[in-house]
Homo-oligomer: A and B are copies of this chain.
């Protein structure tokens, strides 16, 4: 039996709102959401995405955090391990790149089946 990565599980499964999830699928998706459910990692995703070619190394990201380089590298590794960031080594540095397929899969999980329910920023928005 082929083990699916969290991203493959999300990409394969039906939108959350269209069919009840099986226990197996839910257990496959949870690690990806857990990886995202952290303020530092959410910021890292958006900072990497904001870089040229949606790609950055830890050397580009240091300044945005009051954290050590090894701590930031650890968070980048967690995002890579669930498939949200691709990575490649070039010279001294490891470069991380946002996986658009992974993000699209997450959006699809929450998005489809609720067509017509547009998001209206509430009055409390600041």
Q: How many copies of this chain does one complex carry?
A: 2
Instruction: Tell me, in angstroms, the Cα distance from A13 to B17 when the chains sit together.
Output: 23
Q: For window 1-48 of chain A, which residues contact chain B by CB distance below 8 Å? A: 2, 4, 8, 11-12, 16-21, 23, 26-27, 29-31, 33-34, 36-40, 42-43, 45-47
Asked whether A124 is an interface residue with its Cβ less than 8 Å from the other chain, the reply is yes
A19 partner, pick from B37, B46, B117, beta carbons under 8 A: B46
Interface size class of A (residues with CB under 8 A): 35 or more
Asked whether A70 is an interface residue with its Cβ less than 8 Å from the other chain, the reply is no
Minimal beta-carbon separation of A39 from chain B (angstroms): 4
A37 partner, pick from B8, B33, B110, beta carbons under 8 A: B33
A110 partner, pick from B2, B39, B64, B106, beta carbons under 8 A: B106
Docked-complex contact B118 and A16, CB < 8 angstroms:
no
Docked-complex contact A23 and B43, CB < 8 angstroms:
yes
Instruction: Tell me, in angstroms, the Cα distance from A113 to B43 when the chains sit together.
Output: 16
**Chain A residues with a Cβ under 8 A of chain B:** 2, 4, 8, 11-12, 16-21, 23, 26-27, 29-31, 33-34, 36-40, 42-43, 45-47, 49-50, 54, 64, 98, 100-101, 103-111, 113-114, 117-122, 124-126
